[in-house]
């Protein structure tokens, strides 16, 4: 299917060149050869680049008699500036956590897309774009995340200067059990033009992608924020994902039987799975042991008393030291600093993945949400019920369903970016925040950068 899209506007000639970066054992190369045979055409000159030596015997054996195919055992991301008429492939999805420090540093120095917690497929995209001859075409299958995650902003910026012809959301089970929300991007090395969006339910639309780094999701979902509308982020202090300790088995403990001497470091906690639509009282069975003060400062061991002694226990210390996420932090730190100053306030909770958006109110402000929960902290503690009421309304639910990313089996992912952008009708905004904020927000609507995580 992808090869068909690659050659749709023009069939390749034998003098044309095709690149498959990260060719594995040659799935795409075989696809091109099959396509050409089916069309009765001589194949173009195909180059497969693969860094994993384990694939080499298969590749070399398979193509040893085929003069159209050339296989290179090389790092595609290394130096080299050859141009190709076509690029097709399935680049590696390798998260930054699997890279060595020297690899990360080298990629950051050489690739505009190696920013934040980048993934290798972003870099493959960048290198593949720079390998396209003028008028050349590219078809890549990648996770759909690049369309909206902040880390992929530099890639969106790069792509927005080319003609992205189509973005096709393909079936979630394309890679079997590996759920990656795959997307096929079809583009050519020409000036930007209209982009056809083909959604998983086969509905289509044509859009004009914006230049720059902004998320493409609102556009792809067919929604644009009304200009100057007051959004949830305008009336909130924080909209964030719950606390990631990096070792919940160590830091989250049953409330019953908790050592009384450790209690002063314990906070009631809830995970997404403990929240159901029928939950009214937020009763917790677990507590989170938090070695931080309410100003978000990590406490030194000598100030942690019996919590410190527990963390120092051989097995626990080894478990914490084994976490990759704290290599550059003290060994007893959390994966992310818990923002207790903001968390311990009246707030609204929702699950990160849900069948239908549902919101719970923590009026007491005592719950510390786990990583599977998002929390929404209004500027005005008294507005917590009014905001939750609006979030639960059909209008807000409909907007969220259209603007949040879709997970498997029709589930939704509520992410802070989408929650932040939720427009509030004027009457709701007025009731929640008063006229002052409406004036302030309207006058800053164009410049404001939300200070949320």
Residues lying near ligand SAM in the complex (CB under 6 A): 22-24, 27-28, 49-52, 55, 75-77, 89-90, 92
Beta strand 252-254 pairing with 286-289: antiparallel
Q: What angle do CA 54, 44, 29 make, to 5 degrees?
A: 30
How would you write 207-237 as a 3-class SS string?
ECCCCCCCCCHHHHCCCCCCCCCEEHHHHEE
Q: Give the residue from 200, 122, 134 showing the smallest Cα distance to 159.
A: 122
CB of 155 or CB of 344, closer to ligand SAM: 155
Distances (CA, A) of 16 to 2, 19, 45, 315: 18, 10, 6, 60
Q: What does the CA dihedral 380, 383, 384, 386 come to, rounded to 10 degrees?
A: -160
- Token pair, residue 10, equals 């023009």
Cα gap 31→5, rounded to integer Å: 12
Under a CB-based contact definition with an 8 Å cutoff, are residues 365 and 347 in contact?
yes
Q: CB 175 → ligand SAM: shortest distance, Å? A: 9
Q: CB 112 → ligand SAM: shortest distance, Å? A: 17
Scanning the structure block, which residue is given the tokens 């920013």? 115
Q: CB 89 → ligand SAM: shortest distance, Å? A: 5
- Token pair, residue 246, equals 């990096």
Using only the alpha carbons of the chain, give its radius of gyration: 25
Write the CB contacts of 357 (distance below 8 Å, at least 6 apart in sequence): 350, 391, 396, 397, 400, 401, 404, 412, 414
CB of 55 or CB of 156, closer to ligand SAM: 55
Q: CB 180 → ligand SAM: shortest distance, Å? A: 10
CB of 107 or CB of 359, closer to ligand SAM: 107
CB of 47 or CB of 253, closer to ligand SAM: 47
Q: CB 92 → ligand SAM: shortest distance, Å? A: 4
CB of 178 or CB of 312, closer to ligand SAM: 178
Q: Is the CA virtual torsion 432, 434, 440, 446 positive or negative?
A: positive
CB of 7 or CB of 360, closer to ligand SAM: 7
Q: What angle do CA 295, 298, 300 make, to 5 degrees?
A: 130
Length of the chain: 453
CB of 87 or CB of 414, closer to ligand SAM: 87
Q: CB 185 → ligand SAM: shortest distance, Å? A: 15
Q: CB 306 → ligand SAM: shortest distance, Å? A: 47
Q: CB 158 → ligand SAM: shortest distance, Å? A: 19
Q: CB 113 → ligand SAM: shortest distance, Å? A: 14
DSSP state of 345: S
DSSP state of 379: S
CB of 92 or CB of 423, closer to ligand SAM: 92
CB of 77 or CB of 307, closer to ligand SAM: 77
Which residues, listed in sequence order, are joined to residue 104 by a DSSP beta bridge? none
């Amino acid at each position: 299917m992808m090869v068909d899209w690659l050659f749709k506007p023009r069939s390749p000639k034998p003098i044309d060149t095709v690149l498959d970066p990260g060719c594995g054992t040659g799935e795409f190369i075989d696809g091109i050869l099959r396509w050409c045979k089916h069309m009765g055409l001589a194949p173009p000159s195909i180059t497969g680049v693969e860094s994993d030596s384990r694939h080499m015997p298969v590749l070399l054996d398979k193509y040893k008699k085929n003069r159209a195919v050339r296989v290179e055992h090389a790092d595609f991301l290394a130096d080299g500036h050859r141009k190709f008429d076509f690029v097709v492939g399935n680049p590696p999805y390798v998260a930054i956590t699997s890279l060595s420090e020297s690899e990360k540093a080298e990629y950051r120095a050489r690739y505009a897309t190696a920013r934040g917690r980048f993934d290798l497929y972003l870099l493959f995209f960048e290198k593949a774009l720079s390998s396209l001859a003028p008028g050349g075409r590219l078809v890549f299958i990648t996770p759909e995340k690049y369309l909206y995650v902040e880390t992929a902003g530099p890639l969106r910026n790069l792509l927005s200067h080319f003609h992205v012809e189509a973005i096709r959301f393909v079936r979630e089970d394309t890679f079997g059990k590996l759920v990656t929300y795959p997307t096929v991007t079809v583009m050519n090395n020409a000036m930007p033009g209209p982009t056809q969006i083909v959604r998983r339910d086969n509905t289509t639309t044509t859009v004009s992608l914006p230049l720059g780094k902004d998320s493409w999701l609102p556009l792809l979902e067919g929604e644009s924020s009304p200009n100057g509308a007051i959004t949830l982020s305008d009336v909130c202090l924080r909209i964030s994902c719950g606390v990631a300790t990096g070792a919940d088995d160590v830091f989250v403990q049953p409330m019953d039987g908790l050592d009384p001497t450790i209690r002063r470091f314990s906070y009631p906690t809830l995970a997404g799975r403990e929240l159901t639509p029928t939950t009214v009282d937020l009763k917790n069975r677990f507590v989170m042991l938090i070695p931080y003060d309410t100003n978000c400062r990590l406490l030194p061991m000598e100030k942690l008393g019996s919590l410190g002694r527990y963390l120092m226990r051989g097995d626990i210390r080894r478990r914490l030291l084994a976490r990759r996420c704290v290599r550059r932090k003290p060994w007893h730190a959390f994966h992310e600093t818990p923002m207790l100053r903001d968390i311990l306030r009246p707030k609204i909770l929702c699950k990160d993945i849900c069948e239908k958006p549902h919101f719970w109110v923590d009026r007491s402000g005592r719950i510390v949400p786990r990583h599977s929960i998002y929390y929404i902290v209004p500027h005005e503690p008294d507005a917590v019920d009014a905001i939750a009421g609006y979030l639960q309304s059909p209008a807000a639910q409909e907007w969220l369903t259209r603007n949040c990313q879709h997970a498997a089996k029709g589930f939704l992912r509520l992410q802070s970016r989408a929650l932040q952008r939720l427009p509030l009708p004027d009457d709701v905004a007025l009731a929640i925040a008063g006229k002052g904020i409406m004036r302030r927000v309207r006058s800053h609507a164009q410049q404001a950068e939300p200070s949320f995580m």
